[in-house]
Structure 1
Amino acid sequence: MADELDELIEFLSNGSPQVRGAAADIVRGLTGDSDGLRSLAAHADPALPALLRLLASVGAGGAGEAAADSLVNLSQDGELAARLVVLGAVAAAMDVMVKRGGEQPKLARSLVMLLVNLTQVESGISALLQAGDEKVQGLYVAKLVRSFCRSSCDSEDEDIFEHIASILVNISKVEAGQRILMEPKRGLLKQIIGQFDSTNQLRKKGVAGTIRNCCFEADTQIQNLLSIAEYLWPALLLPVAGKKIYGEEDRSKMPPELANALSHEREAVDDSEIRERALEAIYMIVMQMMDERPFGQSMGHGYCRLVMKTKRT
């Protein structure tokens, strides 16, 4: 079996497109079950570079998609994900997505899922952030946010870029990722917040988780967070506000960015995970506001009262 697998991996680099395509399909099939994954993991040294080369090769077509699917399955293993990062998988995935993602939506979706797995490991996050190179740092993230915020299609079943939500959650767990997302000149967090209106639950959860993670830096980033308050507060408070329509007297005591949103009927957010993430973010921001200055204390108490009122309704 080992000899057969070695031969199969060699076929991934064969000069014939037909042979490469057939080999890629077989490898994809092997990664679909635990036994096949274990066998390929034992041959990772030749298999991973061969799959990456096939992914990056121009004109790979269906073979490129099969290679991407195989890499997605293999990268669920943290050790293999780390090895792929060393081999340049993050840069390869971004390059192929930019160049061929528009023509091959299935390939683009698989590459996004590959990046989700690669950013589960610290080295993958660093590679995606392009840490250490100030000239390009954050460029990959900006490209992903642009794709995430672009409507990929009319059908939720074909949302090519929905899993970028998980990538954003992963990179926002580290300080360097939070800084890039909250940098005012880039305006990335503001763009991401706009996706909270999506009907796609994966997108909504990703936005809520990304905001929550960024708020862990509230002690140093409070001004950057408050600079987008008109977008941030509705995104955080509406999930916990229920369906109640607030009267004029209540709304007169609210920040203007909330008063309008709470003046008309809306769908309640039933997902407890989204509400929990929103409440955690609110808590961290309000606590920092109350530490800042007397004005912040009064604003913070105002938001606390609103949160308590919405939790009771």
Structure 2
Amino acid sequence: MADELDELINFLSDRNPQVRGAAADIVRGLTGGEDGLRALTARADRALPALLRLLASAGGSDAGQAAADSLVNLSQDAGLSTRLVALGAVEAAMDVMTKRAAEQPGLARRLVMLLVNLTHVESGVASLLQVSGTIRNCCFEADTQIQSLISLAEYLWPALLLPVAGKKIYSEEDRSKMPLELASALSHEREAVEDSEIRQQALEAIYMIVLQDDGRKSFWSVNGPRILQVGYEDEEDPKVMEAYELIGSLLVGKGEDEEEQGEKP
């Protein structure tokens, strides 16, 4: 079995697209069971880079989507998440999402799930904020880049909001107004992101999105103000509290109209 699995991992990088696709489909099946996950975890040094390369190169093809599914399953393990972050998984997911989210919402949803898993470890949060910061810093140079950030907002909210959502379990009513991935993550207690700088950077990224009308509407549509309200209640760092308050100042007096517009299909 060991030799067969090693050969299967090799096939993920085969020159023949049909071979890569078949191998990716088999690996996806393996990650759906405990035995397969254990076997692939033992070969993570080879399996993880191969899956990331396939995701980056195959994109929205069947092979790319199978690779995304496999990475979602594997990244549920915190140790593997940490290794994936070090291999550039956040950057790879964001790159593919930027290029293909609009025309392939199914793939985008898979990548959101991957990002949510990766941001359960602090290195994943830091990596996501670094990528978002690169986009954010460019926003002052061109309106098109502002719109690029806003267009990604609906996919970024699960990952950007989790570090500042506090540790409490959210009510069913609150979660009913959120996307599935975000609601699921907030349905149980979580470990707090201890690094206050990470929390502050997450809020700064949210602020840049909420500055724009479309971004603000998107924020209301995921029940973002409620999440920040709960997170603020748990916050103790004065600088981070100021960042919460700065976003709140953009929302005061605009809630009802923008919440209603954000809920429209």
When residues 138 and 36 of structure 1 are mapped into structure 2, their CA distance, relative to the original with a 3 A threshold, is farther
Return the alpha-carbon distance in structure 1 between the equivalents of residues 206 and 71 of structure 2: 35
Q: Alignment partner of 1:28: what SS?
A: helix
1:213 aligns with 2:231: yes
Task: Answer yes or no: is the 8 Å Cα contact 1:54–1:60 preserved in 2.
Answer: no
Task: Answer yes or no: is the 8 Å Cα contact 2:125–2:163 preserved in 1.
Answer: yes
Task: Answer yes or no: is the 8 Å Cα contact 1:11–1:20 preserved in 2.
Answer: yes
Q: Deviations over 1:263-284 (max 9, x none)?
A: xxx9xxxxxxxxxxxxxxxxxx
Provide the alpha-carbon RMSD of the alignment: 3.6
The answer for the alignment partner of 2:55 in structure 1 is 55
Return the alpha-carbon distance in structure 1 between the equivalents of residues 37 and 163 of structure 2: 27
Q: CA deviation at 1:84?
A: 0.4
Q: Which is worse superposed, 166-175 or 102-111?
A: 166-175
The answer for the alignment partner of 1:88 in structure 2 is 88
Q: Which is worse superposed, 214-223 or 21-30?
A: 214-223
Gaps of 5+ in 2: 139-145, 165-192, 261-265
Q: CA deviation at 1:42?
A: 1.1
When residues 219 and 74 of structure 1 are mapped into structure 2, their CA distance, relative to the original with a 3 A threshold, is same
**Amino acid corresponding to residue 79 of structure 2 in structure 1:** E
The answer for the alignment partner of 1:175 in structure 2 is 196
Percent identity over paired residues = 50
2:158 alignment partner, one of 144, 166, 177? 166
Q: Alignment partner of 1:120: what SS?
A: coil
Return the alpha-carbon distance in structure 2 between the equivalents of residues 129 and 225 of structure 1: 20
Gaps of 5+ in 1: 151-160, 239-259, 267-313
Return the alpha-carbon distance in structure 1 between the equivalents of residues 220 and 207 of structure 2: 21
When residues 211 and 90 of structure 1 are mapped into structure 2, their CA distance, relative to the original with a 3 A threshold, is farther
When residues 124 and 168 of structure 1 are mapped into structure 2, their CA distance, relative to the original with a 3 A threshold, is same
Return the alpha-carbon distance in structure 1 between the equivalents of residues 79 and 48 of structure 2: 12
**Amino acid corresponding to residue 42 of structure 2 in structure 1:** A
Return the alpha-carbon distance in structure 2 between the equivalents of residues 139 and 117 of structure 1: 26
When residues 175 and 193 of structure 1 are mapped into structure 2, their CA distance, relative to the original with a 3 A threshold, is farther
The answer for the alignment partner of 2:242 in structure 1 is 222
The answer for the alignment partner of 1:188 in structure 2 is 209
**Amino acid corresponding to residue 178 of structure 1 in structure 2:** R
1:70 aligns with 2:74: no
When residues 54 and 224 of structure 1 are mapped into structure 2, their CA distance, relative to the original with a 3 A threshold, is closer
Q: Alignment partner of 1:130: what SS?
A: helix
**TM-score of the two chains, using structure 1 as the length reference:** 0.59
Q: Deviations over 1:63-98 (max 9, x none)?
A: 000000100000000000000011111111111111
Q: CA deviation at 1:116?
A: 0.5
Q: Alignment partner of 1:103: what SS?
A: coil
Aligned length: 219
- Structure scoring higher RCO (CA < 8 A, sep ≥ 6) equals 2
When residues 144 and 208 of structure 1 are mapped into structure 2, their CA distance, relative to the original with a 3 A threshold, is farther
**TM-score of the two chains, using structure 2 as the length reference:** 0.68
Task: Answer yes or no: is the 8 Å Cα contact 1:218–1:225 preserved in 2.
Answer: no
Return the alpha-carbon distance in structure 2 between the equivalents of residues 197 and 186 of structure 1: 13
Return the alpha-carbon distance in structure 1 between the equivalents of residues 46 and 73 of structure 2: 17
Q: CA deviation at 1:226?
A: 5.4
Return the alpha-carbon distance in structure 1 between the equivalents of residues 36 and 206 of structure 2: 47
Return the alpha-carbon distance in structure 1 between the equivalents of residues 6 and 205 of structure 2: 51
When residues 210 and 186 of structure 1 are mapped into structure 2, their CA distance, relative to the original with a 3 A threshold, is closer
